[in-house]
Structure 1
Amino acid sequence: MASRLNPYISFAGSARQALDFYREVFGGSLEVNTYAQFGQAPPGFEDKVMHGMLETTAGFTLMASDTPPGMDHTPGNNISVSLSGDDETELRGYWTRLSERGTVSVPLEKQMWGDVFGMCTDEFGVTWMVNISGEPS
């Protein structure tokens, strides 16, 4: 297997809901393992996600977990997930679903560099950047 780089997002108890949402947006196969399944369940964390992985037919891999007790969970603006390509229909579909219950900070529209770009934060606090490539000049 080749090396790969993919986002791994930590949540404060909503990893399962977020992963289910991302599966609805992107499709694909989702595997979720709870703390109880690994025999490492802190009290009240039996059904929380120790590790979840979504793999899509488009080749995306997104991993997530619930932050266990004793570890800090500090959502912030130090990471964004970027979706880019030239399939306008596909990318606009992702944008619509990611932004519909979130907050749009940059509307999805043509930018000065010629591409269509937008940025939003979904309902789980994850920032997404969508870039649809313009026509080559």
Structure 2
Amino acid sequence: MARVLALDFGKVRTGIAVTDELQLIASGLTTVDTKDLLKFLEDYIKKESVERFVVGLPKQMDNTASESEVLIQDFLKQLSAKFPAMPVERQDERFTSKMAFQSMLDSGIKKKKRRDKALVDEISATLILQAYLNRF
């Protein structure tokens, strides 16, 4: 089997998580500058077998699209153009940043490290991917 790769897309940084090859466990991979994201994905896919992308779907509490969805839609067009054969799925990402921060607290990560927004983005991508895996 191939891996599933999840993205917590952001205007500045994007958190990335992947599954193991059996698609059982979601793990944080890294955080990259969003301007370098497509190149990073291209390089990663050359080294690892990826079956699909899962991109976070930011929604408001009333189920309407978040302001950042406009940026994500532009990115999705670029992603589809770059990887036309790769399926892209969406996963609700409400509360993932809060859950990521709480998981850092619960695991005893020091205050200085908790300020690292890149780590929050990576953990958020992992939570998005785990939620996606839990759907099946």
Q: Which has the higher helix share?
A: 2
Q: Considering only CA atoms, is the larger Rg found in Structure 1 or Structure 2?
A: 1
Q: Which has the higher strand share?
A: 1
TM-score, reference length from structure 1: 0.24
- Identify the structure with bigger relative contact order (alpha carbons < 8 Å, sequence gap 6+): 2
TM-score, reference length from structure 2: 0.24
